[in-house]
Amino acid sequence: MQHSKRILVTGGAGFLGSFLCERLLAQGHEVICVDNFFTGSRWNVAHLLSNAGFEVIRHDVTFPFYVEVDEIYNLACPASPIHYQYDPVQTTKTSVHGAINMLGLAKRVKAKILQASTSEVYGNPNVHPQPETYWGSVNPIGPRSCYDEGKRCAETLFFDYWRQHSLRIKVARIFNTYGPRMRPDDGRVVSNFIVQALQNQPITVYGSGEQTRSFCYVDDLITGLIRLMGTSDDVTGPINLGNPAEFTMLELARLVLELTGSRSEIKFLALPVDDPQHRRPDISLAKTALDWTPQTPLREGLGSTIAYFDRLLASGQSSGHLAAE
């Protein structure tokens, strides 16, 4: 039986954070969920409140936070373009000031700390698939740079704390993840397509639809995060966590139409600025260091996600009951 730990999850009421809290509690740990509820939702963790080992605290990580913990998962940051571009200055502060505050906390209490970074650190990549050794191709002054560069700076801070203070760090570069508890209004392609299809509205495909993404089901991603945190201290990352199966946006749209039985038509719109043309992780390092590969095929994961959105839309509660990454 593993030793019970006291674990802090920032962004714990978000899409990924709520599943992480759930899994850690199931493993017998105490969990402190911190969230400012900008994109997170209390509904995502409401079912956990009866657990004596679970605590929710409303707090913004851009301000210092004081608590005694053994481990920290730093997931706090809006992750969809609609939400992180709504207040780009605050997005950068969340990534940078949030990292500084959580690293400072980890240093004070001697906790191990994991940073939820992103595939967006690779920008619009010139290397495909993207290995961790690739430094990326990012526009530092574009509308997406608040998120892309904020996450890149957070990685810098993590490795500087590791070099300068011998802090035990873990950095995960998360590729497109989907599943129940995504927000229907987050603007990300999976939630967009599913909600549009369920309402028989036009499926909005940006550009030609030939741009590609790789989709990882949330359960697989959470397993990867926990395995990374549990590895020896010499495994710092960054480590790509994502599904290497690659799909065009048109392939995804047609699969969603098939699974929902929707009457929606596909509508093409202009491609957003700096939108990456390709996104696919090289997960060789995750396979060797974590013995991790995604287990959920896209068709199966979409089935669970569609069922969730179908229930949500039928209940009329789609405005505030989901959360972004």
pLDDT tens profile 194-205: 999 999 999 999
CA-nearest of 34, 37, 38, 46 to 73 is 34
Which pLDDT does position 292 carry in this prediction?
A: 98
* pLDDT for res 324: 32
pLDDT reading at 322 higher than 70 = no
Residue with tokens 């900008």: 38
CA 241 to chain centre: 10
Supply the pLDDT for residue 83: 82
- Lowest mean pLDDT across 150-159, 271-280, 285-294: 271-280
Cα distance between residue 303 and residue 306, in whole Å: 5
Closest by Cα among 139, 153, 14, 172 to 97: 153
Give tens-digit pLDDT for 163-203.
Answer: 999 999 999 999 999 999 999 988 889 999 999 999 999 99
Residue 317 is predicted with a pLDDT of 64
Residues marked active site are found at 147
Let me know: does 168 contact 112? Beta carbons within 8 Å.
Answer: yes
Domains, the chain, ordered by start? 6-315 (3.40.50.720)
Residue 318: band (very low, low, confident or very high) from pLDDT cuts 50, 70, 90: low
Residue 84 has what pLDDT? 80
* pLDDT exceeds 60 at position 320: no
Residue 18: enclosing H or E segment and its boundaries? Answer: helix 15-26
pLDDT at position 2: 64
In this structure, the strands spanning 30-35 and 54-58 are parallel
Instruction: Place 70 in a pLDDT band, splitting at 50, 70 and 90.
Output: very high
Structure confidence at residue 187 (pLDDT): 85
State mean pLDDT over 149-174.
98
Dist. CA 133–CA 87, nearest whole Å: 31
Average of per-residue pLDDT values in the chain: 93
DSSP state of 174: E
Give the confidence band of 277 by pLDDT, cuts at 50, 70, 90: confident
The percentage of residues in the chain with a pLDDT greater than 70, rounded to a whole number, is 96
Q: For the chain, give the percent of residues with pLDDT over 90.
A: 86
Q: Indicate if the pLDDT at residue 319 is higher than 80.
A: no
The whole-number pLDDT of residue 185 equals: 87
pLDDT by residue (tens digit) across 214-258?
999 999 999 999 999 999 999 999 999 999 999 999 999 999 999
pTM, 2 dp: 0.93
Antiparallel, parallel or unpaired: β 212-214 and 169-174: unpaired
For 238, counting Cβ atoms within 10 Å of its Cβ (0-12 exposed, 13-18 middle, 19+ buried), the class is buried
CA 304 vs CA 178, 228, 245, 256, 298: distances in Å: 10, 26, 18, 12, 10
Binned at pLDDT 50, 70 and 90, residue 159 comes out as very high
Mean pLDDT (whole number) for 284-309? 97
- Residue 323: which pLDDT band, with cuts at 50, 70 and 90? very low
**Do 210 and 275 form a contact (C-beta atoms < 8 A)?**
no
